Structure 1
Amino acid sequence: MANRATRQRVLIIEDLQTLSIAYAAQLEKAGYEAVVAASAAQAFEQLSADGEFAAVLLDLQLPDADGLDLLRDHPDWLARFPVIVATADGSLTRAIDAMRLGAFDYLVKPLSEARLIAAVDSAVTTRIAAKSNGRTSAKRTAQPQEGDFIGKSPQMEEIYRQIGLVADSRATVMITGETGTGKEVCAETIHRQSGRRDGPFVAINCGAIPENLLESELFGHMKGAFTGAIDNRVGAAQAADKGTLFLDEICEMPLQLQVKLLRFLQTGTIQRVGSERQDKVDVRIVCATNRDPRREVAEGRFREDLYYRLAVIPLEMPPLRSRTGDVRLLSDAFLARFSAEVGKTFAPFTEAHYAALERYRWPGNVRELQNVLLRAVLLNSGPDLPLSAIPASDGAPLHAEPVEPAPSAEAPVATPVSGALQLAQLLKGHTLAEIERIAIEAAIEAAGGNLSEAAHALGISASTIYRKRQSRDHE
């Protein structure tokens, strides 16, 4: 909730008097000072007389102007204060256009009081945070920081630019791209670049949680709501209050739950499984998928209305093969990181290493490169990293070891015990956690990033893989 001790002023630009009075009353009750303008002309008068407003609520259909035209023709508005646009349900695409111009948030009429106050609170809080950090609300270009992306290619510079444009907005973002391109890193970067950076970043993988548990994971549950619900539990949406909720593999969400997610986006409230109470939650939604969401909509697996709600700001992560020069930067960074983690020393990559790394197509993208170099560090003592550790362009090692001849009739046949001993020798000196990490990431890579297939190959549940990766990422 915004700091209302100073009675932050909100300008309401709405031509219908019944609506403007209702909005003003709701904002006044919440602790704001509301100023009303019934037209664009009156709005300019208010801004000229006293232009200091913490937020602006703008109806897109005014008697003397089009709200979109106002945003296009007066970018200084977006630089001075967050603009929340209001639109009728039938013109949702106009609201999305406004978000792409730089509006902070959009509301669909009729506006619920909870959703209105949540949007204004978020806008004012973001503005206060921006001013305290010496920034304005003007659009800017994000710069990668510690823990963010690694890369200086034109494709990544464009991603940084887009993140800078949308970070301070409350607009939902849908990140698309191939498996392993860094969609979650992108979501985390948006969070860190936003006014919500001090709030929680909560990630949930919609494809790794069993369908019958996903609603509980997302919205929480009450004790006794279902078998195994032994206590009250807060869901991811409530845990992300005042922060960012990242919904990975969003296209894996079942249709029944998509309806409840849409309602959450419309009202800003959640209802735990087994509860009749609705709780107000202020979160910014970022989601990701490696599928084509428009195809999912066309084939009936994803709701069209939910897609338009989530894809207000679309971002497409480029595949690693198209990021000129970034393979070298990433390889250097991963080699240094993994060497330090396991306490080994490796010589810098040679031009031969770089040539091999850049010749390979990396179908698994950054994640595959990361896994390849992790295995290389774990399975080699150094200081030189053999070229055989790098895949060839056809998927086979560039310098494969000589193939052992098939055992003759007289030769002893390897037994499961001897194979286990060989594996133990190969992994000697590595912890069980490191071996487990190698196995899980290799299975995911072999499954093309599909956690369900990887779990099946390993003989474990997808939720087990998800929990292990989450706990490792937060160690």
Structure 2
Amino acid sequence: MQFKAVASDETSGRRRPVVLVVEDTPSLAATYRAILEKQDFAVETAATGAEALALLKSAAYDALVLDVRLPDMTGLDVLDAMRERGDQTEAVVITADGSINLAVDAMRRGAFDFIVKPLNAHRLAVTVTNATERARLKAEVTTLKRELGDAAGFCRFIGRSPAMQTVYRIIRNAGPSNATVFVLGESGTGKELCADAVHRTSRRAGGPFVTLNCAAIPKDLLESEIFGHVRGAFSGATADRKGAALSADGGTLFLDEICEMDVALQAKLLRFLQSKEVQRLGEDRVQRADVRIVCASNRDPLAEVQAGRFREDLYYRLHVIPIELPPLRDRGEDIVELAQHFLARFSEEEGKKVSPLSVDVLAAMRRHAWPGNVRQLENLMRRLVVLNDGETIEPAMLPADIRASAEASGPHPPALPSDGHRIVTTAPPIDGPGRPEQAVGPLEATIREAIERAITASGGSIPKAAQLLEVSPSTLYRRIEAWENAAS
């Protein structure tokens, strides 16, 4: 249940609970209003059951004060209608009939409590306060359940890896603000999905979410796409165009690949961010647009600033809350979860029955570097489902580069004992006694020994060991994870 906040204390930020009073006698409705407003409730009224149901459908209330006798239906009928459509607003029923049967009937139909006329002001205030408190607690439980359910994903993201949990936390914290967000990450990591998640978790979620890919539009047309134009503003402008900034008024404008934007247009974007004013090409009139900006790039924006291709003042204006999406190769078991998710989705879309991926197929996917990230994995799973006539996907059906990754890794040696990011190794020190130089062992064992020696020399630090070996830390993490999985 979401609360309707029509009144708040601007100095404290506290929201006044909103109560809907359903009573056809004006004097009684005014009495209930006075009692509740004295207790700092915001009150709205309805005189009939139909009016109450219409209001409950259009907005959410913290509590409902409901008279049993109404001109068009009974209060019990209202409770039945609410239950049928899943409305869980806490209802306090008021009646002149104090029979036990009526009270029990009201409670069975979902009422929170039952008050008999003549009304006691204190009893009404306490009962409605309890009802709104119960509604608040139910809302908190719902929120917690949703967040716990998001352990495997969040706002259409799939994955529970620590790297993605960090992303989810930043989005939850940044979403409700109006601060600009700069999403960074390799191609295919889900930057537009991240921007959509920021919009969904914001107070602008009910407004438009407008996306614009700055790399996909010719430079001489991009200004018109963002700020719009009027008919005849330039050759080919045969009709007025609103533009993305005005179209996103009250919502979010997502500028993807913003580092591709021409420097001259960057100055106009900066001016818009500062003034919130839009002047369409060929028009003298200035219009205001209340827009939140989320932008993204697969380049390093600071490097672009240093190279003179991106304005420094615009960079600092946009780079308020950075969100860096991890590459798929650094997301561990998310690869498996994503692969199985895409398999189920595309199997349903194509009307095929495909068995879950085998251990060998998943092992090959774990070992692949995925340069195209989640987009590459998604496209692969669609291709496997479309081209596969059977119910099972075999390792031989995988592309050659993924099979090669699996073959290069070879069988898994025993696991290395670990402690967080520091690995305890049994290899002798770099300058200590080791095997004779002329001794030759299996390639994988030699690789493992080299990794162990580097980790030992680095004091157990994986990033430092990766620097010594001139590989990325993710390469070492993948190998260590593979060894640990094989041992378990």
The residue number in structure 2 matching 1:203 is 211
The answer for unaligned runs of 5 or more in structure 2 is 13-39, 41-135, 141-145, 408-488
- The question of 1:376 aligning with 2:384 is answered yes
Mapped contact 1:346–1:384 kept (Cα < 8 A)? yes
The residue number in structure 2 matching 1:193 is 201
- What is the alpha-carbon distance in structure 1 between the residues aligned to residue 375 and residue 160 of structure 2? 18
If the length of structure 1 is used for normalisation, what is the TM-score?
0.54
Residue correspondence of structure 1 range 39-438 to structure 2 within 5 A: 143=150, 148-391=156-399
Q: Taking structure 1 as reference, are residues 5 and 179 closer, same or farther at Cα in structure 2, changes over 3 Å only? A: closer
- What is the alpha-carbon distance in structure 1 between the residues aligned to residue 10 and residue 336 of structure 2? 51
The residue number in structure 1 matching 2:101 is none
- The one-character-per-residue Cα deviations of 1:275-315 (angstroms, maximum 9, x if unpaired) are 11111111111000000100100000000000000000011
SS in 1 for 2:299: coil
Q: Taking structure 1 as reference, are residues 141 and 346 closer, same or farther at Cα in structure 2, changes over 3 Å only? A: closer
Mapped contact 2:358–2:393 kept (Cα < 8 A)? no
Deviation at 1:10, TM superposition (A): 6.6
Q: Taking structure 1 as reference, are residues 174 and 255 closer, same or farther at Cα in structure 2, changes over 3 Å only? A: same
Mapped contact 2:363–2:406 kept (Cα < 8 A)? no
Mapped contact 2:367–2:405 kept (Cα < 8 A)? no
- What is the alpha-carbon distance in structure 2 between the residues aligned to residue 349 and residue 236 of structure 1? 42
- What is the alpha-carbon distance in structure 2 between the residues aligned to residue 155 and residue 4 of structure 1? 35
- The one-character-per-residue Cα deviations of 1:85-143 (angstroms, maximum 9, x if unpaired) are xxxxxxxxxxxxxxxxxxxxxxxxxxxxxxxxxxxxxxxxxxxxxx9x968xxxx9794
Q: Quick one: which amino acid aligns to residue 294 of structure 1?
A: L
- What is the alpha-carbon distance in structure 2 between the residues aligned to residue 5 and residue 377 of structure 1? 51
- What is the alpha-carbon distance in structure 1 between the residues aligned to residue 401 and residue 214 of structure 2? 33
Larger gyration radius, structure 1 or structure 2:
2
RMSD: 3.2
Give the total of aligned pairs.
Answer: 279
Q: Taking structure 1 as reference, are residues 201 and 389 closer, same or farther at Cα in structure 2, changes over 3 Å only? A: farther
Q: Quick one: which amino acid aligns to residue 390 of structure 1?
A: L
Higher relative contact order (CA 8 A, sep 6+): 1
Moved more, 235-244 or 384-393: 384-393
The answer for unaligned runs of 5 or more in structure 1 is 12-51, 53-130, 400-475
- What is the alpha-carbon distance in structure 1 between the residues aligned to residue 263 and residue 174 of structure 2? 28
If the length of structure 2 is used for normalisation, what is the TM-score?
0.53
SS in 1 for 2:283: coil
Mapped contact 2:154–2:168 kept (Cα < 8 A)? no
- What is the alpha-carbon distance in structure 2 between the residues aligned to residue 392 and residue 7 of structure 1? 62
- What is the alpha-carbon distance in structure 2 between the residues aligned to residue 311 and residue 4 of structure 1? 32
Q: Quick one: which amino acid aligns to residue 181 of structure 1?
A: T
Q: Quick one: which amino acid aligns to residue 380 of structure 1?
A: N
- What is the alpha-carbon distance in structure 1 between the residues aligned to residue 226 and residue 157 of structure 2? 27
- What is the alpha-carbon distance in structure 1 between the residues aligned to residue 139 and residue 268 of structure 2? 39
- What is the alpha-carbon distance in structure 2 between the residues aligned to residue 245 and residue 229 of structure 1? 23
Q: Taking structure 1 as reference, are residues 280 and 165 closer, same or farther at Cα in structure 2, changes over 3 Å only? A: same
Q: Quick one: which amino acid aligns to residue 231 of structure 2?
A: K
